[in-house]
Structure 1
């Protein structure tokens, strides 16, 4: 029998996540016996202030993760902007691999790598956020013998991520963020059997390879096109064909590695449709105004039949403008329904 400590905690958060992270780390003791890796969805540009925020919130020092740095117990490591934070052989690996659900850093990429590297020695935590980021990665952690925790959706500022994880992953605990620290402190003192841990599935291996883009990986590992079937959908990032990663069509990747859950893809499509409709409205208004100018010019030059034709175009286009404007202002449904908000919070 080979025993190993639970020595790695990976935490994912998105919208509303700064407050939840602050509450969680405030409950961690100074002698916390594991490294804590934090992924918060961030805009790609700029410098994150998250390490300073978390360092002030509790007794553990926090720092932005550095490529090749050793993960040490009792320290918090945050993912820097525009990089996936991956775990490999007890060290940090930063990667600019393809985005997942439009994000880099991506929660699922970190969770997946932690499960691959540490197996049952990992504890995964999903906090406040919209949509369903973190659910897939948390399920991989559970499949490798790790523990899964989620913030109580009733106290989360955004319930989407906690509720998604609860629906699809068997949890070891559902707690308010402020109570999470004490619970984790107890669990990281446990040792677990490191033998008999099932390997990653082939799909998970392929996804892990995608996140490590630019690094050396097993040459024999297949590509996503070799182990999946093409879907009917296009990737919003590169317009390539998306390949279905499961039988129900709830997760997708394109040939070059961009990953989408069905929920995130639906939201992105809704945003693109709205952008296209606003562009269409602008084009219609320009056409109406141009037809009006051409009508006036034809009248001034003494061509009444031509003027009448352009007047008809102006009136028809004006009616289309009003219909489309009213639809955009009143009739376009929110991607996640009327009760959910879909903004991201960054640090």
Structure 2
């Protein structure tokens, strides 16, 4: 029987959104200076001010925190923060920055980082998903789990915005669920473990999507991941495919936009809102046109134009009245697995 080789994990990827800046400084500040892993961080707020985030996080603890740079090697004991408007990715043992299309309406995207770590880091990876809205990070977390990596999710009860942790637990129910103050210790414990080298081989869809995230040459329609979904992309109106990877569903278009279910629904709701207000505006304009046509008229002609204006205004008012019922419920409810008492 051939001997099984072992290794220690040496890559930590952390993703967070709304509310994550309440816990991230504590997580990084509690990690030791001799951490035997490189740490890559994507926080959606860094899309606006990555330089400020680097300054804040660099004051939190002994680990040096720097902005990620393209094609630079990953060094243990350092924290690399995604920069504004660029996806942060992993390829082999270096980091890449990419201006590929947004994923889940974000660039940098947590899923983009996590999926690349799944492909190139495999079982060497520890993924951490923090507080945030909707479900960015869940698909990538599932990919890392399928690749043999370790997964940590902030306890939803401890998160200011529990939606992202809940989505992560729904697809990786056996992830370590920890309150923010314990996450750093969970990371250190997972890094200290010796794990069997993974025989993971990324599937064709993961390879195609990570290549697309690196902004490589466009994918021919016949080579797109997944299968046609009979839906259009909310960002570019291009045709979309549905992709089922690691037991989780998401969507991608030929341009490279990628959507997880809750984020897709939220984007579609935005389009509905935009279309409804456009319809109200056009109806109001039509009513004014009929009023103008009625001015200076008399008899049957005036009554007809006034009646048309009134009917159109009623249609616009119906849209205004029912608007909140149509667009406000944007999240898909996801069941969170119940933990047995005393379990991690």
TM bin (shorter chain): 0.7 to 0.9
1:17 equivalent among 4, 16, 20: 20
Please, which runs of 5 or more residues in structure 2 have no aligned partner?
334-344
Name 1:253's counterpart in structure 2: 252
Name 2:158's counterpart in structure 1: 155
Superposition TM-score, scaled by structure 2 size: 0.88
Name 1:231's counterpart in structure 2: 229
CA distance in 1, matches of 2:185, 2:54: 21
Are the structure 2 counterparts of residues 88 and 33 from structure 1 closer, same or farther at C-alpha, using a change threshold of 3 Å? same
CA distance in 2, matches of 1:46, 1:13: 15
Instruction: Establish whether residue 176 from structure 1 lines up as the match of residue 171 from structure 2.
Output: no
Name 1:241's counterpart in structure 2: 239
Q: How much has 1:227 moved relative to structure 2?
A: 5.1
CA distance in 1, matches of 2:171, 2:248: 15
- Tell me: higher relative CO, structure 1 or 2? Use CA pairs within 8 A at least 6 residues apart: 1
Name 2:124's counterpart in structure 1: 121
**Coordinate RMSD, CA, aligned:** 2.4
Check the 8 A contact 1:25/1:57 in 2, yes or no: yes
Name 2:84's counterpart in structure 1: 81
Instruction: Establish whether residue 135 from structure 1 lines up as the match of residue 138 from structure 2.
Output: yes
Moved more, 58-67 or 206-215: 206-215
2:40 equivalent among 20, 37, 42: 37
Superposition pairs of residues 248-287 of structure 1, within 5 angstroms: 250-287=249-286
2:62 equivalent among 56, 59, 64: 59
Q: How much has 1:77 moved relative to structure 2?
A: 0.6
CA distance in 2, matches of 1:183, 1:78: 21
Q: How much has 1:235 moved relative to structure 2?
A: 0.8
Superposition TM-score, scaled by structure 1 size: 0.87
Check the 8 A contact 2:37/2:76 in 1, yes or no: yes
Name 1:211's counterpart in structure 2: 213
Instruction: Establish whether residue 306 from structure 1 lines up as the match of residue 304 from structure 2.
Output: no
2:320 equivalent among 318, 325, 332: 325
Check the 8 A contact 1:224/1:254 in 2, yes or no: no
Check the 8 A contact 2:133/2:161 in 1, yes or no: yes
2:170 equivalent among 156, 167, 170: 167
CA distance in 1, matches of 2:123, 2:150: 7
Name 1:187's counterpart in structure 2: 190
Check the 8 A contact 2:209/2:225 in 1, yes or no: no
Q: How much has 1:222 moved relative to structure 2?
A: 7.9
Report the 3-state secondary structure (helix = DSSP H, G, I; strand = E; otherwise coil) of the residue aligned with 1:245: strand
Query: Once the two structures are superposed, what CA deviation does each residue of 1:16-69 show, in whole Å capped at 9, x if it has no partner?
Result: 121121221122122222111001124756554211121122222211101022
Check the 8 A contact 2:155/2:179 in 1, yes or no: yes
Q: How much has 1:318 moved relative to structure 2?
A: 2.0
Are the structure 2 counterparts of residues 284 and 68 from structure 1 closer, same or farther at C-alpha, using a change threshold of 3 Å? same
Are the structure 2 counterparts of residues 208 and 132 from structure 1 closer, same or farther at C-alpha, using a change threshold of 3 Å? same
Name 2:330's counterpart in structure 1: 335
Are the structure 2 counterparts of residues 166 and 210 from structure 1 closer, same or farther at C-alpha, using a change threshold of 3 Å? same
Moved more, 206-215 or 5-14: 206-215
Moved more, 47-56 or 118-127: 47-56
Are the structure 2 counterparts of residues 108 and 224 from structure 1 closer, same or farther at C-alpha, using a change threshold of 3 Å? farther
Are the structure 2 counterparts of residues 269 and 91 from structure 1 closer, same or farther at C-alpha, using a change threshold of 3 Å? same
